[in-house]
Amino acid sequence: MQHGKYRFIVGFLALPLLIYAIFVISPFVQAFQISTTEWSGLRGAAKSVGLGNYDKLLHSDEFWNALGHNVIMLVLVPIATLTLGLFFAFMLNVGGRARRGAVITGVRGASFYKFVYFFPQVISITIISVIWFNIYNPDPHDGMLNSLLGAVGLDSLQSSWLGERSIALACIMVVMVWANVGFYVVLFSAAMASIPREIYEASLLDGANRLHTFFRITLPLLWDTVQTGWVYMGIIAMDAFALVQIMSVNMGGPDGATDVVPLRLYQTAFRDSQFGYAAAMGVAMLVVTLLFAVLTMRFARRERIEF
């Protein structure tokens, strides 16, 4: 009977696992194999170079510059996105004024606000990039942001934005946060809705204010969701290809100020026809992403709280 059960389970899992191995695991293995070759990707046999591409990466200033920008995004973008997501979700669900017959309530029109916050999620990243590219347009009359600053008398704050080396990367990170925060508002709102209202009401009766309820009740009970969201946002921050390609000056400019590893990989493969070197960049991205995920799951781990 026991052996029959295992055969039944294996029979159901065999085909999905085979498909997963072919279309997910196999490309990773092939990428590592290609990274040990010198190959144009178009014609000619691939020439094995061992770990030569990785040695070239270690001594490439352009790669380290791009990776540094990815690391900055990896640190700042998840923090900003998850913090805003938690704040908005908390205010929408338990941040409203007390009403008759209810101690804990969200703000009025919470469903509408959730829809507004979530709206960027249904827009193509290409459209988002084009919209914000026009917002950051440096022209004081055609650029939406500069026009607004000029209209309210803040002409001194007008800038070339994406053309300014010191703030170009920050401008793109703002767009990343704006585009993703709505997803976490909805995600955290759904998680908060599962927390019994009696817990909040008991804490208020004990004299706790909104700040205390957030850090003593809401955040600990949502920690698993926050941890998962942190890993997911880290993966998004390690990408950023479409935003940088469309929004940046000369793809990664000015002067490499917004260059990221995915864009460097794309240019190396399809512009320079160095597919082996580009594959080595892809493997390096995989290692950094896995390292980030492992460290996040390791150091953010805490005892599970059930209710």
What is the set of domains in the chain, with CATH numbers?
A: 60-299 (1.10.3720.10)
Contact 57, 49 (CB under 8 A): no
Q: Which pTM does this prediction carry? A: 0.85
Nearest residue to 78 via CA among 236, 192, 292, 245: 236
Q: Which two tokens stand for residue 101?
A: 């017959």
Position 101 scores a pLDDT of 47
Regions of the chain with pLDDT less than 50:
1, 101-102
Does residue 220 have a cis peptide bond before it, meaning omega lies within 30 degrees of 0?
A: no
Nearest residue to 190 via CA among 79, 278, 137, 114: 114
Q: Whole-angstrom Cα distance, residue 148 to residue 167?
A: 19
- Bridge partners of 99, per DSSP, are 102
- Helices and strands (H, E) in the chain, number of each type: 15, 2
Contact 173, 73 (CB under 8 A): yes
Q: Which amino acid is at 132?
A: W
